[in-house]
Amino acid sequence: MLSAGIILRKKRSGKIVLFTVYFIFFLFMTELTCLLALKIKTGFWLFNERYNPNAILFEPHPYLVSKPIPNAVLDIKGIHYEHNSEGWRGNEFKNDTSKLKIITIGGSTTYGTGVSNHQTWPYYLDSLISDKAEVMNFGISGHSTTEHLILSLFTLPAYHADIVLIMSGLNDLRNCYIKNPKSDYTNFHPYNLESVLGFDHINNLPRLAIIRVSVILLQKIGYYPLFSYQKVHIEKERSKQNEDILLNIYRQNLTRMVKIIQESGSKVVLLPQILNSEALAGNQLKWWVPFVADQEFVPLISKYNQVQQQTADSTHCFFIGEILSNNWKKSDFIDASHFNAGANLQFAKLVNNYINQTILNQ
């Protein structure tokens, strides 16, 4: 009787073990199938997708799309990101009334993507000019002149800047060849930026193909909400007319921004955008600028820089052309558009020399 019970228990446990093995094998094969399906659909392997750390540093904003999170700290791959209590990258502002206030506005190059706090060009500029002025870094990754314009209108006046440095271009250029572009870029830029910054809640889900495919299927039948970027249908329109429309939008935004800042009593300095031409191959920027071919980037950014020069002439502000004539090399960049620490120092020195020679000596 006892021996029969033992045999029965063994049979039951054997069935449970066998069922568990089959179930695990089924899950494995389902995961593998979903993984292959996603690779075919997207062109990328899901296991190469990493958690987006931008969601630790930035949060959604109703007008600006995103804003830096106050007191946020992130250490990743040896790079230290830290925001002050007001939400800007860098140390707490000193607000020394005996010194001039310089504010820098821009996208990720100004914010300092890819380098630590003490290696951004606004930080270096502050160190170089600290006896005369305090530099405040208002750079926000991904921001175009649309967000810069809103920032200039609603945020800057409270800081009473003496000089405002504006570095823009690439984040406006990213809208090039989008069909029927709107003057505020709202038929592409803000929704895509939300995704790039990791604001879609899928960023917090486990990186399992079964879960990702389930989300896609549930979205198809209306049982899972669409992400913001999925609600916008993006079409391509490759034409000279489209390019001119985008350049005119950039010109209008930049001109309005300069005039708003000047009306508050600040001097405005425009800084051209520099790209690493040698890294613009193999569609390295396609994730950010979807419809611009590799060989088109440098000619296009040159046109945006020309618009800056023309805007400076028409609004009587300043433009640092010396930045364009500097001998920038591939080794100065960490990717196609972001400077490394050494290049940020070079950039800061050029800006510092210009401010001292052209503005402070007036």
pLDDT in tens, 72-99: 999 998 999 999 999 999 999 998 889 9
- The residues, ordered by sequence, that sit 6+ positions from 11 with a Cβ below 8 Å of its Cβ are none
What the block records as the tokens of 281 is 């191959």
- 97 shares its domain with 138: yes
On whether residue 196 sits in a domain, the answer given is: no
The β-bridge relationship of strands 100-106 and 163-167 is parallel
On whether residue 94 sits in a domain, the answer given is: yes
Tell me what pLDDT residue 5 has. Answer: 47
- 132 shares its domain with 176: yes
Report the predicted TM-score, pTM, of the whole model to 2 decimal places: 0.87
The rounded mean pLDDT for the chain is: 91
On whether residue 93 sits in a domain, the answer given is: yes
The neighbour count for residue 173, using CB atoms within 10 Å, is: 25
- 349 shares its domain with 306: yes
The domain in which residue 33 lies consists of: 1-48+205-233
On whether residue 193 sits in a domain, the answer given is: no
3-state secondary structure 179-191: CCCCCCCCCCHHH
- 81 shares its domain with 35: no
On whether residue 200 sits in a domain, the answer given is: no
CATH code for the domain in which residue 129 is found: 3.40.50.1110
Q: Report the share of the chain in percent with pLDDT over 90.
A: 70
pLDDT at 305 over 50: yes
Give the C-alpha separation, 168 to 301, whole Å.
Answer: 10
- 265 shares its domain with 142: yes
Q: Is the dihedral of CA 283, 287, 291, 292 positive or negative?
A: negative
- 60 shares its domain with 36: no
On whether residue 199 sits in a domain, the answer given is: no
- 16 shares its domain with 33: yes
- 12 shares its domain with 79: no
- 28 shares its domain with 139: no
- 168 shares its domain with 221: no
pLDDT in tens, 22-62: 899 999 999 999 999 988 887 778 877 666 788 899 999 99
On whether residue 197 sits in a domain, the answer given is: no
Give the C-alpha separation, 286 to 349, whole Å.
Answer: 32
- 30 shares its domain with 113: no
Give the C-alpha separation, 362 to 358, whole Å.
Answer: 7
- 171 shares its domain with 301: yes
Residue labelled with tokens 């050494």: 342
Give the C-alpha separation, 237 to 255, whole Å.
Answer: 26
On whether residue 67 sits in a domain, the answer given is: yes
Please tell me the least confidently modeled range out of 240-244, 281-285, 321-325, 339-343.
281-285
Count of domains in the chain?
2
